Each structure stands twice: as C-alpha cells, then as structure tokens.
Amino acid sequence: MKKLIGPKKIRTAVFISGKGSNLKNLIRYSKIKTYPFSINLIISNYNKAKGLKYSNIFNIEKKIIKYDKKIKIDNKILKILKKKNIKLICLAGFMKILSKNFIKRFDGKIINIHPSLLPKYKGLNTHYRAIKNREKFAGCTVHYVNSKLDSGKIILQRKVKISKKDNHISLAKKVLKLEHLVYPAAIKIILD
C-alpha cells in the first residue's frame, strides 16, 4: 500500500458482529500518532452486536446492515464506503462472508483477523479443535481477504503455548489478548 506522507491517516472501516474488543483496541491504537489509520466507520450485520456501543463512546458513525439479499447489500455498503472515503476495511469478528464482487471492488484493501495459526483451523471453533487435536501452540493471524475463506496472504501471525490446563475458553482469552497486539501491528506493516 502507498506510503504515508505527513500525518495523514488512512480512513478505515471496521466490520463487526459481536463483542468488538478488537474494534475497541483498534480505535485506541488509531489515536496514537505513529499508527497510520483512523477508524471512521463501524459496520455490523447484527443490530444487537455489543461492539456497536463504541460508536457512541468514541463518536464514530455506525451502520447496521442486515445480510439478506447479498448483491443489494454489497452495493449499499460500497456506496457508504465511497461516501465516507474509506480506504481500508478491517474485519474484526465479522461472521459473514463477503461476496466475490465486493472483495474484487476492494481488492487488497480488506484484512481480517482469525483466531488460529492459519492455514490450520480455518472457519469456526478454532480453539476447541486445536485442543482436541492436542496442538502445542495456538495463535492468531492477520491476512488479506480473498474469495476463499481464511485463505488470503498472511500479513502477520503470532503463537502462544497451549498449556495442559487450557480449555477452549481459557485459550480463547489468551489468543484474544494476543490479537490485540497483532492486529494494530499488522495494519502498521501494510501502511508504513
């Protein structure tokens, strides 16, 4: 991605479906001078997503978009993104699959955080499956989004040890903590 000149920040939209701890964390980092992005829009497919509260707390515009008719919705989101001059999309716990058309229109500008050491454990229940398979390590990955699920080029990945005491809940907590370090770092890598 192009180099930043001066203090200009890349206008970013964060897509969520749930709690929004990654969203909150990205907002926090976006306020640091050396992190070259600003969060200007929050999009959720779910009107009860807890993370939507950060819209009020941080005074960031939010849009709730129900994913029923995909093509219509894609066009609606694309219009909103254009109007807000959004240049980067960060998926953060967004549990819907974007259409090929949408990804094409925003090619190379959509990234996602996934709670596993990709290419292992694409999809759901990553921690449960990692423990069941007696993996020694778990972790998280930030990657570009392409039309195949959790398969785009990896930007940054970090691992944590799975201890004997871990279950999928404790492991999820451990990995989420790591995600909060890895996501902003990955954005910095692609924008610097």
Which residues contribute to the site for ligand GAR (CB under 6 A)? 16, 18-22, 51, 92-93, 113-115, 176, 179
Cβ closest to ligand GAR, residue 46 vs residue 106: 46
CB 12 → ligand GAR: shortest distance, Å?
15
3-state secondary structure of 148: coil
CB 2 → ligand GAR: shortest distance, Å?
27
Q: Are 115 and 40 in contact (CB under 8 A)?
A: no
Q: Which residue is nearest to ligand GAR (CB)?
A: 93
CB 16 → ligand GAR: shortest distance, Å?
6
Output phi, psi for 170, to 5 deg: -65, -35
Q: Are 26 and 184 in contact (CB under 8 A)?
A: yes
Cβ closest to ligand GAR, residue 16 vs residue 117: 16
Confirm whether 127 is a catalytic residue.
no
Cβ closest to ligand GAR, residue 20 vs residue 36: 20
Structure token pair of residue 2: 């192009």
Cβ closest to ligand GAR, residue 22 vs residue 40: 22
Q: What is the DSSP letter of 116?
A: S
Q: Are 14 and 39 in contact (CB under 8 A)?
A: yes
Exposed (0-12), middle (13-18) or buried (19+): which is 157, by Cβ within 10 Å?
middle
**Rounded to whole angstroms, how far apart are CA atoms 48 and 50?**
6
CB 13 → ligand GAR: shortest distance, Å?
15
Catalytic residue among 114, 127, 143, 180: 114
Task: Give the active site residues.
Answer: 114
